[in-house]
Amino acid sequence: MDVPAHIMRQATSREFRPSVRIGKAGLSETVLEEIRQQLRTRDLVKIKVNKGLFEREQRKEVWEFIAENTGSAVVLQRGNIGVLWRR
């Protein structure tokens, strides 16, 4: 999938703050619905996961799961931060 340059610039910008946080309760249907709501009004949603919630190997699977269930694409995943793009 080709991501436009302006989307990548916005996704990697330090001014672009996380708008969804996944806390100790983990990934729930409520969190997925919040991400869907935000994707309806924005092109990008930045998500931050609490450190230690998922192992390093699990994070990529988590980002892909979220993308599949919200109809979006993973643009960036770095540590405990992921950015989704509305397709």
- Residue 16's Cα: distance from chain center in Å? 12
CATH number, domain containing residue 18: 3.30.110.60
Report mean pLDDT in 10-residue bins for the chain, 87 residues.
Answer: 91 95 95 97 97 91 96 95 95
At 33-46, the pLDDT tens digits run 999 999 999 999 99
Domain count across the chain? 1
> For position 47, what pLDDT does the model report?
98
What burial letters (b/e) apply to 42-74, b meaning 16+ CB within 10 Å? ebbbbbbbeeebbeeeebeebbeebbeebebbb
Report the DSSP beta bridge partners of residue 76: 83
Structural domain including 81 reads 5-86
Q: Which of 19, 17, 79, 18 is nearest to 53 (CA)?
A: 79
Q: What is the pTM of this model?
A: 0.91
